[in-house]
Amino acid sequence: MKKKNRVWWRLIFLLLLIATALAIDWPKEIKIQMPKPKVNLEKKSPFIKFKKNGDLVNFKINYKIKEGLDLQGGSYLVYVADLSKISDKDKSNAVDSLKKVIEDRVNAFGLTEPVVRTSKSGSEHRIIVELPGIKKTDEALDLIGKTAQLEFKEFKNSDFYSTGLTGKDLKHAGVTFDQNTNEPQVSIQFNSGGAKKFAEITGRNVGQPIAIYLDNKVVSKPRVNEQINGGNAQITGKFDFQEAKTLAIQLNAGALPAPINIAEQRTIGATLGQESINKSIVAGIIGIIAVCIYMLVYYRFLGIFSTVGLGLYLVFMIALFKLFGVTLTMGGIAGLILSIGMSMETDVLVFERIREELRNGHAFISAVKLGFIRAWPSIRDSNAVSLIICAILYTAGGMIRGFAIVLALGIVIGLVTTFLGTRTLIDLIAKRKFVKNNWLFRVEKKGEE
């Protein structure tokens, strides 16, 4: 009785998972509108009562599969790093720093799933930036390409000279608005060392201008009225909001350790991406149908459970893509199709064990239990090796990383669908009379062959 209850509880849990996954899979957007509750506490009652106040609260959840550059189109940029002024032993660290600063800039800019990676061709160091969904690249080019060397200079002998206060002394930069003109400006806050320098500089330059340079160009020359303590200052100029935001991002991300020059700029159209998606869908459908037919022909009744399990696998995988924002690329689609075959491999190992136990004369319910138990070591070891390979491929980056992520997810979900979904469905019919017919499982007992 207890075992039967466990099966039904597993079925209820499975149905809840399926319902949740379908709710995520089906719509692109879920909209919920409900009255805004007003809480009234009554002294005579320990309970909280909710009363509608007429206002509405809207909840909107957007579940959508994110597409990579090769599927939805976008911009592909290649920069060459100018390392002529950097020693050979420091070039590798400089390139890594360039990559980190560019990643910080594009991520702060709010671009969709950007990819930043490095490559080397001969003695030339390159940084490749992929911006899915970005067709107008002017702002992105400006954001990425500027060196963003910030420097404060003081006025002496009819010229401006360096004070030693630079962007390295910054703690934070952000966009604010001038209280008088309401124009955007960049407010900066120095770290403790920078604040001390700034106080000294403003103290000895009262009544004189201090020039703020960005990439050797003057952006502002405010006049010092009094010594400024506390390490706060504003960069003003003829900024619009976007320009001020871009400058703040550059200052927060840090200056590029070396200049970079654009070597290649390509815009990948969505037509190529849609064509790739269509071909992949056709290939996937053909593969799924072929696998289902094979399982039904070879394993007969057990093949039905395998086909249902494959459907559950696809439902769960799509839900994970949407829920965790997995970026789907052509490599990811290849990993998905391959993982379908690996999911079927798990079923094959279990079904062969079940058939072996049936040949040995066990009843179907016992054969199922022993089949899952004895197939597990082989399944565990093969999937562990596959996950290790996925971890190694993940470090390669680019499209190979997308392939590795999807394949690893597919392996895990394949195990869930087999040991939760397929196992539960088989257990539900394990005591039915018709399962005594070994023909349904393409089995002949030993001695009858």
Question: Helix (H, G, I), strand (E, B), or coil: what is residue 199?
Answer: helix
Does residue 19 lie within any of the structural domains? no
**What strand order describes the sheet that includes 115-121?**
115-121, 124-132, 74-81, 260-268
Q: In the prediction, which pLDDT does 373 show?
A: 93
State pLDDT tens for residues 410-438.
999 999 999 999 999 898 888 888 877 87
CATH number at 99 reads 3.30.1360.200
Going by C-alpha positions, the residue among 225, 196, 231, 233 that lies closest to residue 209 is: 225
Domain of residue 369, CATH code? 1.20.1640.10
Q: How many residues does the chain have?
A: 449
Strands (E), 269-422: 327-328
Among 393, 404, 349, which Cα is nearest to 373's?
Answer: 349
pLDDT tens across 365-391, in order? 899 999 999 999 999 999 999 999 989
Same domain, 311 and 338: yes
Q: Is residue 22 part of a domain?
A: no
The 3-state secondary structure of 232-261 reads: EEEECCCCCHHHHHHHHHHHHHCCCCCCEE
Q: Are residues 260 and 284 in the same domain?
A: no
- Residue 16 pLDDT exceeds 90: yes
Helix (H) or strand (E) run with residue 170 in it? strand 170-177
Mean pLDDT, range 202-228, rounded to an integer: 83
User: Is the pLDDT confidence value at 111 over 70?
Assistant: no
Q: Are residues 338 and 397 in the same domain?
A: yes
Of 62, 84, 116, the position where a domain reaches its end is 62
Alpha-carbon torsion, ordered 172, 177, 180, 182, to 10 deg: 160
Q: Which domain holds residue 199?
A: 74-268
Same domain, 245 and 315: no
Q: Which of 268, 301, 333 is the last residue of a domain?
A: 268
Evaluate if pTM is beyond 0.75.
Answer: no
On whether residue 20 sits in a domain, the answer given is: no
Residue at 18 is within a domain: no
Token digits of residue 219 = 């952006």
CA distance 176 to 114: 27
- How many domains, the chain? 3
Q: What is the tens place of the pLDDT at every residue in 148-168?
A: 677 889 988 888 888 888 877
Q: Decide: helix, strand or coil at residue 72.
A: helix
- 369, part of any domain: yes
Q: Which of 268, 289, 321 is the last residue of a domain?
A: 268
| pLDDT above 70 (res 440) | yes
CA 96 from chain center: how many Å? 21
CA distance 280 to 277: 5
Within a domain: 14: no
The amino acid present at 28, given as its one-letter code, is K
Burial of 232 (0-12, 13-18, 19+ CB in 10 A): middle
Q: What is the CA radius of gyration of the chain?
A: 32
Are 407 and 320 contained in the same domain? Answer: yes
In this predicted structure, the answer to whether residue 24 has a pLDDT above a threshold of 60 is: yes
Same domain, 261 and 118: yes
Beta bridge partners of 211: 153
- Is residue 448 assigned to a domain? no
Does residue 241 lie within any of the structural domains?
Answer: yes
Q: Are residues 102 and 206 in the same domain?
A: yes
344 & 362 share domain: yes
CA atoms within 13 A on the CB side of 308: 14
Alpha-carbon gap, residue 331 to 334, rounded angstroms: 5
How large is the average pLDDT for residues 282-300?
88
Q: Are residues 241 and 328 in the same domain?
A: no
- The chain-wide mean pLDDT, for the chain, equals 79
Q: Does 46 share its domain with 154?
A: no
**251 and 279 fall within a common domain:** no
Residue 47: which pLDDT band, with cuts at 50, 70 and 90? very low
Do 90 and 234 reside in the same domain of the chain? yes
Q: What is the mean pLDDT of residues 307-325?
A: 87
